[in-house]
Amino acid sequence: MSEIPAARPVPAARAPARRWWSGLFWKCLLSMLIASWISTALLSGLDLYLSRTEVREAMAPPVLQDAMQRELQQFGALPDLAMTSRAQCEAILQALLVRIVGMDSQEWMNSHSFAGSTHDGRLSIRYRDRDGRVCRYPSQASPPLAQTLEEVEQEAVSSHAPVPRRHEREGDWISAVALPLARTPGATLSVGQHAGGSLASFMHMDSGDIESLAIYLVLISAMSAIAVATLLTRRIGHAERAADAWAAGELGARIHDTGRDEFGRLSQRFDRMADALGEVIQVRQALAVSEERNRLARDLHDTAKQRSFALGLQLSVLDHLSQREGGEQDPRQITLIKAALGLTGQLQRDLADVIQRFSAPTVAEQGLRKAIEDTCSHLLAGSEIEWRLLLDGVAERGLSPWPQHAGQLLLIATEAVSNSLRHSGARRIEVVLNNSGNRYGWTIQDDGCGFVPNEHEATGMGLANMRLRARTLPGGRFRLASSPSGTVVTVSFTLESQGIQA
């Protein structure tokens, strides 16, 4: 009986067309760009906070005053800078400012340069003579710093003493010191630092710095996105191809992702799910076959068998009536009646045998051992033939995950036992299952009179069916040996390991 094919799976809905910007690479690139900018901003903010704290301590008014007095002693008497050219004045003040605030030191270059920029007017030095003429570097200071320097200069001139001062403002501070110059009466030298707000301190970078930072972040994000997307898209591609194969009904396809990360574990779960789904389909097919076999058995029992039985009764009545008649009977009529009765009896026996085979429980329902026991008990009942079933426990457990293969073995054994019952005159039948590694052997042996295999294969379907069923098994081989001392049917096949311990 051929198996009923499972219903063809409904094809999966076609995925909508994807735009280029919806690819994994572009999503990774955008995500990494956003993460890079956010992380850069956070790190810059932290660095800015720590640097501002250091600059606040390094530019405190007492520290700044000591540095100014020390550098003025080393520099000597200042010329009247207000009377020099602007270029000479700025050069002298710039050199003096570098020494006062330590711009020539490695610490300043590594830590404080951003907080004391002179180009944006947040660090300034001024010289003021007795007549109020001013020389400054840089040429323009920030308005809050310029106002503070003006205030401390006036106070130093009036008090003839150094004036250190710090103005605390919302979000920033100003540190300024004005020193009266003893060697130049009425003149003052003042230095001031305006920290500015945090955002202003961070954004003092010029356009070149910003462009360099942006290019760096884009390049590093693109390289990271390429690495991540290439790794993931290759693995996702394997999963997509396996999913398409499953949708087309090819449940033997596998993703085969050996990764130990989350995606690898998910792929391995999908592979196991496909294995379980394949087993469920096989069981459903086996149950469908069992239902169809039972239906055919009922139909044959209720139709063909009943009609053949009625035909046999009618022929028996005809034979009885012909014997009661006193006249001569045509010998041909008697011969035909006897032949029809013989054929009818044979037909009834054949139908009973077919019905018995169709209604036999399947391996999926009972397991191989119980199915073979029930089949042999029904076939050999009343025949006085001794039968024995020898199933190796290891081999039986190894075969249990393959009910479709066990079903083929059951049908082969049923055909072989039926042949022994009908034709061999055997007194003993043995059914044996064993294995060596992953190679299994299935043997049905009797002690009957034997037969010539070539003659029976040409006239009957039984041997051909057994041979075909054996070939459906993985690596299946069929061998038949018959002699006057008995017949041996041997089927050998190979099963893949399912990870089930015998």
Q: Is the pLDDT of residue 430 over 90?
A: yes
Q: How confident is the model at residue 144 (pLDDT cuts 50, 70, 90)?
A: confident
Q: What is the pLDDT of residues 31-80, one digit of tens each?
A: 777 777 777 777 777 766 776 777 777 788 888 888 888 888 887 777 77
Question: Which of 83, 202, 195 minimizes the C-alpha distance to 148?
Answer: 195
Residue 248 CA, chain-centre distance (Å), reads: 20
Q: How confident is the model at residue 355 (pLDDT cuts 50, 70, 90)?
A: low
Q: Is the pLDDT of residue 106 over 50?
A: no
Q: Is the pLDDT of residue 390 over 90?
A: yes
What's the mean pLDDT when you consider all of the chain? Answer: 77
DSSP alpha helix (H) spans, 162-303? 198-202, 207-247, 262-302
- Which residues on neighbouring strands pair with residue 439, listed in sequence order? 436, 494
Pair 229, 32: CB distance under 8 Å: no
The β-bridge relationship of strands 486-494 and 439-446 is antiparallel
Contact partners, residue 419, CB within 8 Å, separation at least 6: 462, 487
Q: What is the pLDDT of residues 296-328, one digit of tens each?
A: 766 666 666 666 766 776 677 777 766 665 556
Predicted pLDDT at 356: 61
Q: Is the pLDDT of residue 489 over 60?
A: yes
* Length, in residues, of the chain: 502
What mean pLDDT comes out for the span 226-237? 77
Please report where in the chains the tokens 């710095």 appear, as a residue: 209
Q: What is the pLDDT of residues 166-215, one digit of tens each?
A: 888 766 788 899 999 877 888 899 998 887 654 444 444 555 556 777 78
At residue 324, what is the residue type? R
Q: Is the pLDDT of residue 451 over 60?
A: yes
Q: What is the dihedral of CA 282, 288, 293, 295, to 10 degrees?
A: 170
Q: Is the pLDDT of residue 228 over 90?
A: no
Q: Is the pLDDT of residue 107 over 60?
A: no
Whole-angstrom Cα distance, residue 4 to residue 362? 14
Query: What percent helix, strand, coil does the chain show, rounded to 5?
Result: 60, 15, 25
Four-way CATH pick for 59-204: 3.30.750, 3.30.450, 2.60.40, 1.10.8: 3.30.450
Asked whether the whole model's pTM tops 0.95, one would answer no
What mean pLDDT comes out for the span 350-363? 62
Predicted pLDDT at 234: 79
Predicted pLDDT at 8: 47
Residue 96 CA, chain-centre distance (Å), reads: 67
**For the chain, percent of residues with pLDDT exceeding 90:** 10
N- to C-terminal Cα separation, the chain: 31
Rg (the chain; Cα; Å): 52
Who has greater pLDDT, 237 or 345?
A: 237
Predicted pLDDT at 209: 58
Q: Is the pLDDT of residue 110 over 50?
A: no
Please report where in the chains the tokens 């900018």 appear, as a residue: 37
Lowest-confidence pick of 130-139, 219-228, 370-379, 420-429: 219-228
What homologous superfamily does CATH list for 365-502?
A: Histidine kinase-like ATPase, C-terminal domain (3.30.565.10)
Residue 17 CA, chain-centre distance (Å), reads: 23
Who has greater pLDDT, 152 or 229?
A: 152
Got the DSSP string for 369-398? HHHHHHHHHHHSTTS--EEEEEE-HHHHHH
Who has greater pLDDT, 462 or 243?
A: 243
Predicted pLDDT at 1: 40
Cα–Cα distance list, 223 to 20, 33, 59, 217, 483 (Å): 18, 11, 42, 10, 77
Question: Which of 163, 179, 178, 173 minimizes the C-alpha distance to 193?
Answer: 173
Q: What are residue 261's phi and psi, to 5 degrees?
A: -85, -175
Pair 37, 190: CB distance under 8 Å: no
Predicted pLDDT at 502: 35
Who has greater pLDDT, 454 or 183?
A: 183
Q: What is the pLDDT of residues 253-282, one digit of tens each?
A: 888 888 787 878 888 888 888 888 888 887
Tokens of 95: 């050199």
Q: Is the pLDDT of residue 245 over 50?
A: yes
- Which residues on neighbouring strands pair with residue 136, listed in sequence order? 126
Pair 74, 96: CB distance under 8 Å: no
Question: Which of 348, 320, 345, 344 minimizes the C-alpha distance to 334?
Answer: 320
Q: Where do the structural domains in the chain lie, given as residue ranges?
A: 59-204, 303-359, 365-502
